[in-house]
Amino acid sequence: MDPLVIGGFSFFAVFFLVVGVASVTGVVKHPIDRRIDRLRPLEAASATAMSPFYAEQIDQSVVASLGQRVAPKDPQVRSLTKQRLAMAGYYSENALYQYWGAKLMLTMLFPLLLLAVYVFRQMPMTQALFPALFMMGIGFFAPDIFLILRKHHRQEQIFRGLPDALDLLVVCIESGLGLNAALQKVSEEFHMGNRVLSDELKLTCAVIRLGQPRQEAMHDLGERTGVMDLKALVAVLVQAEKFGTSIGQALRVHADDMRTRRRQRAEELAAKTTVKLIFPLVLFIFPAIFVVLGGPAVIKILEHFSK
């Protein structure tokens, strides 16, 4: 194919893509839409005065604007997406639109980059069909992979810091503080040691102060993080409060149990290392050893038979 034709086709494809994205995201607006936007300054000002978080909610980037237009309307799908985002540490309403906008933009961007490489290297475009489809799949699932990795990282941090936080919570309760005040104190003192767990406890304390019952707030804490040990802690606190038993004693027993599970988990990971070392040994180390030990003998045998 003529390089001039390929260049012209690429130019018009990129041009129409940019125009389409600009029209969808609202970067380029119709004059009537601009007049309507100028007629609504008082509404935006009143909403800003009513909510201190309104500036964060209307902070619509290109990705968020695109995601707002393509996000599914099904409440169940939106709820599941928000739950996954919350487990990864994203709680704002704008995060939902950022997620869907990123999926759409990466789905379009990765194949375009691949086609640009094909055009730059003057490779036949007929061979780019299946690689472009593969890159589209990678771009579509890239935000999901990022959320999964971030969720596991946050859950690991919470799991490691929870026994120490429980010890501090026991000290605060036995010193005379109530459970709400003890949770607030732990969230403040534990900020340097484990920021993820501290932020989650601060959010729970803020929800309790706003009027939500403590049992529901603790239940939401376990569901929001997805950590099984934290869900078990919530169950312990709810049962201790319901039956009137000592909260400090229940937390101490639960902290000891968590330390035992953490030690058992470390022993399990250490026992798995011998099995995991088989693959690098067989693939990388053993061949080098065989070459060093058997190489001279093989050379001597080849020289002997060649004579």
pLDDT tens track of the chain, all 307 residues?
Answer: 556 655 665 666 666 666 665 555 555 555 666 666 655 554 443 333 333 333 334 345 677 777 777 788 888 888 888 888 888 888 877 888 888 888 888 888 888 888 888 888 877 777 777 888 888 888 888 888 998 999 888 888 888 888 888 888 888 888 888 888 888 888 888 887 788 888 888 888 888 888 888 888 888 888 888 888 888 888 888 887 777 777 878 888 888 888 888 888 888 888 888 888 888 888 888 888 888 888 888 888 888 888 7
Distance CA 245, CA 240 (A): 5
What pLDDT sits at residue 251?
Answer: 81
What pLDDT sits at residue 2?
Answer: 56
SS3 state at 210: coil
Contacts of 54 (CB under 8 A, 6+ apart): 47, 48
How is the chain split into domains, by residue range? 3-151, 153-274
What pLDDT sits at residue 12?
Answer: 62
What pLDDT sits at residue 34?
Answer: 62
pTM, whole model, 2 decimals? 0.64
- Which CATH number describes the domain made up of 153-274? 1.20.81
